[in-house]
Structure 1
Amino acid sequence: MPLTPDPARGNAPPSIDADPRLQPAFTPGEIEARSFAIIDAEAGEPKPFPGHAWEIARRLVHTCADFDILPHLHLPDAAIAAGVTALARGCAIYTDTEMARAGMPLRRLSPLGCTVACLHALPGTAERAQERATTRARAAMELAGDRLGGAIVAVGNAPTALLALLDHLAAGGPPPALVVAMPVGFVNAEESKALFLERAALLTHLGPHGLPCLALRGRKGGSPLAAATVNALAEIALRGRG
């Protein structure tokens, strides 16, 4: 639509609020609710996932505006339940990037007693990465050690973080309560997620389904999606408290 001057405003173009292509202004809560309604409508019936799994999937679609991720989501009920239970008891949450950490607002997590930290902040991470000629994500995961036991580990960027977590588990390290496996990219992102899901399913001493894991298969992923997954779980946990 071409901008034509508004005589009442002199030579200034008309207000963008008057552009007929735009929907009316909404509050943040209204924007989210309207977005979810659009996603529900466009996803059709039956939904690709039931119950809490659809809540998580819908939030992920909302985060990236991409319905194409739906067939590639791994959202088993047992893993969702494990994540909600861990959050309800106030578990620690560890991320592989500051972006993912920043994407988990304390207003959701503090009422549950949860803490969020990026593993890169661990002392000695940069030095270890340089000494071993590896990524900071791998070095940080190696340094985390016993901290990972009972925590939620959200990986949205670095495949090397997932691979280091597999090494931690293979060495008998304490397992996280839940792993969110969503690294993004063209080098080892798809492969690391496939390998992690395979190995996690074999850890049946942790439960009949192995190590609980939520994942986005393939090349897509990212810190915003990893954070959105934890946020969706936190909302479910908060509702469960009544």
Structure 2
Amino acid sequence: MPLFDRILIVDWSGAGQTVTGKNSLWACLARREGDRVVIDWNENFATRHAFMQRLDVVVGAAVAEGQRLLCGFDFAFGYPAGTAERLTGKADWRALWRKIADEIEDAPDNRNNRFDLASRWNATYFAGEPRFWGRPHQHAYADLSDKKPPAPTNAPLAFRRSELVAKTAKSVWQLSGAGVVGSQTLLGINRLSRFLDDSGYGEHIAVWPFETGFATTFEKPVVFAEIYPSLFTLAAQDEVKDQAQVRTVAEAFARFDADGRLGSLLDRPPMLADEEVATSLAEEGWVLGIGHEELPLGKVDPATAGEPPLPLDYIRDPAEIYRQSFATIREEASLDRFPPVLQPLVIRLIHACGMVDLADDVSWSDGAFEAGAAALEKGAPVLVDVEMVRHGVIRRLLPVDNEILCLLNDERVRPKADEIGNTRSAAQVDLWDEHLAGAVVAIGNAPTALFRLLERIDAGAPKPAIILGFPVGFVGAAESKDELIANSRGIPYIAVRGRRGGSAMASAAVNALAGGLGTNV
């Protein structure tokens, strides 16, 4: 006989603002109808608050109608052994849940204090040996680093026993980054703890395995369990991945319930020793399905055997890749100090290197962007120090098919380098004179090229319309840009302080002058 009449699967969210679509909160409710699995609804919730209102309705209906309900949530229900005792004085999951609920603030619009709380707990309970880590690059917290701390050698450790078995699971201590569950766990435990205490349905709910043990029968009609959707293989779909995932897991658990596998998944994982079982039931919890590899969670359909494997799930549309990239940068980077006209260029620089903190090192002179854009509109050539910069410019964005000139491989360069006792990159600058007046200069590799350009201008060479200074490296890069910033010789400039730079940044700056954040593909 099946254990449940309805199955609710929830893909939780740790978002800090109202959000829908990809990487937001999705939930799917399935029920059995004879031998069929029927999806009652599969919906996207903009906030955790909105979902909890729906959970109240779903649990209330199950209790009122005498239905048995399994609710699966994809965030950790526990922390590594030793956490609860460190924070509450008791090795007890419920004490830790209430501790989290007492101190987490999670507003109806998703604004919350999870990073502040993690920083405070690092200082209070893990002084000198921080556990929580990961934060947005644009925010700073006194005791929460964006870098992974050394692995702890004493309890609590980095992983729970179930996560070590799963192998691909992330540490619950990590709060930020792709695929992490740390933020979802703090915010999810807070919400479920409050629901158990305040909804009026707490007496009808059992939290597996803390209150049930590893069992296949349940006294209470509603069971909350931690799940790991990545155990399941998704079929090809056109919908949002999270939407497909909750539906897939809900349908799978309903099928497993019908054929007896779900009861086996709720039972004791065979590799656990008695001491590990005790730890799981008291504090760490367990993930439904982990440790039962003998029960395949994704059987091969004979009708599709031999077909080519399904394509991997990733974004293929170039325009959408750019759109999401630029949107992420706007969300994570600190752009307020830049005039609006310059912000697209800074976004392109960050996009070129993947580091949002680059914004802190960008330096520019007043009117530099306007000067560079105007020069391109007038047909000015673009002088670059290496071929990689030339190839990185999106030619379609150039307003009048501007010439992009790199003379590094010109036959005159090597003799000139010998003559002046400098690099080939610097020597080619001596050949720029006839093109230099009013040009856009983009240096993305060689500090010697920037130094030589400034020397040539000091010696009376024509002045370009703008200097884009992005040489990179450990010798001369920071110093050449410091010289440009300290004395640009009256020439508008945009540069990145320090060792960072590169050809991708230089060409990105040219692309921004030519077309802002416009069409890229």
Please indicate the TM-score interval, normalised by the length of the shorter structure: 0.7 to 0.9
RMSD: 2.5
How far residue 196 of structure 1 moved from its aligned partner, in angstroms, is 1.6
Which residue in 1 is equivalent to 2:498? 218
Structure 2's unaligned 5+ residue stretches are: 1-229, 234-297
Among 165, 179, 185, which residue is 2:473 paired with?
Answer: 185
- Asked whether the equivalents of residues 146 and 173 of structure 1 are also in contact (C-alpha less than 8 Å), the reply is no
Among 457, 461, 476, which residue is 1:169 paired with?
Answer: 457
CA separation of 1:75/1:16 partners in 2, compared to 1, >3 Å: closer, same or farther?
farther
Among 368, 385, 389, which residue is 1:79 paired with?
Answer: 368
Aligned-partner Cα distance in 2 for 1:72–1:195: 15
How far residue 229 of structure 1 moved from its aligned partner, in angstroms, is 0.3
Among 411, 431, 435, which residue is 1:147 paired with?
Answer: 435
- CA displacement, residues 80-132 of structure 1 (integer Å, 9 cap, x when unaligned): 111011011010001000000000122112x4241111121434012222344
Which residue in 2 is equivalent to 1:159? 447
Among 15, 23, 36, which residue is 2:326 paired with?
Answer: 36
Q: Which residue identity is paired with 1:15?
A: L
Aligned-partner Cα distance in 2 for 1:193–1:5: 60
Among 344, 347, 353, which residue is 1:58 paired with?
Answer: 347
Structure 1's unaligned 5+ residue stretches are: 204-209
Q: Which residue identity is paired with 2:306?
A: G
Which residue in 1 is equivalent to 2:393? 104
Range that drifts further, 51-60 or 115-124: 115-124
Report SS of the residue matched to 1:119.
Answer: coil
Which residue in 1 is equivalent to 2:310? 15
Range that drifts further, 70-79 or 155-164: 70-79
Aligned-partner Cα distance in 2 for 1:121–1:160: 16
Range that drifts further, 130-139 or 33-42: 130-139
1:118 aligns with 2:406: yes
Report SS of the residue matched to 2:442.
Answer: strand
How far residue 5 of structure 1 moved from its aligned partner, in angstroms, is 8.5
Q: Percent identity?
A: 38
CA separation of 1:27/1:175 partners in 2, compared to 1, >3 Å: closer, same or farther?
same
Report SS of the residue matched to 2:450.
Answer: helix
Aligned-partner Cα distance in 2 for 1:179–1:47: 23
Aligned-partner Cα distance in 1 for 2:300–2:429: 59
Q: Which residue identity is paired with 1:219?
A: R
How far residue 193 of structure 1 moved from its aligned partner, in angstroms, is 0.5
Aligned-partner Cα distance in 2 for 1:48–1:9: 58
- Asked whether the equivalents of residues 350 and 358 of structure 2 are also in contact (C-alpha less than 8 Å), the reply is yes
How far residue 32 of structure 1 moved from its aligned partner, in angstroms, is 0.4
Aligned-partner Cα distance in 1 for 2:464–2:444: 16
- Asked whether the equivalents of residues 156 and 181 of structure 1 are also in contact (C-alpha less than 8 Å), the reply is yes
Report SS of the residue matched to 1:120.
Answer: coil
Aligned-partner Cα distance in 1 for 2:518–2:343: 17
- Asked whether the equivalents of residues 129 and 139 of structure 1 are also in contact (C-alpha less than 8 Å), the reply is yes
Structure number with higher helix proportion = 1
How far residue 9 of structure 1 moved from its aligned partner, in angstroms, is 4.2
Highest Rg: 1 or 2? 2
Which residue in 2 is equivalent to 1:231? 511
- Asked whether the equivalents of residues 430 and 456 of structure 2 are also in contact (C-alpha less than 8 Å), the reply is yes
1:135 aligns with 2:423: yes
Report SS of the residue matched to 2:441.
Answer: strand
- Asked whether the equivalents of residues 348 and 517 of structure 2 are also in contact (C-alpha less than 8 Å), the reply is no
* TM-score calculated relative to the size of structure 1: 0.83
Aligned-partner Cα distance in 1 for 2:378–2:409: 24
Q: Which residue identity is paired with 1:31?
A: I
Paired residue total:
223
CA separation of 1:74/1:42 partners in 2, compared to 1, >3 Å: closer, same or farther?
same
CA separation of 1:56/1:87 partners in 2, compared to 1, >3 Å: closer, same or farther?
same
CA separation of 1:76/1:237 partners in 2, compared to 1, >3 Å: closer, same or farther?
farther
- Asked whether the equivalents of residues 344 and 517 of structure 2 are also in contact (C-alpha less than 8 Å), the reply is no
CA separation of 1:91/1:5 partners in 2, compared to 1, >3 Å: closer, same or farther?
farther
Aligned-partner Cα distance in 2 for 1:97–1:50: 30
- Asked whether the equivalents of residues 443 and 506 of structure 2 are also in contact (C-alpha less than 8 Å), the reply is yes
How far residue 219 of structure 1 moved from its aligned partner, in angstroms, is 0.3
- CA displacement, residues 145-195 of structure 1 (integer Å, 9 cap, x when unaligned): 232111111001000001111111111111001100000000010011001
Q: Which residue identity is paired with 1:34?
A: Q
Q: Which residue identity is paired with 1:116?
A: I
Among 483, 489, 510, which residue is 1:195 paired with?
Answer: 483
Misfit runs of 4+, over 4 Å: 1-7, 236-239
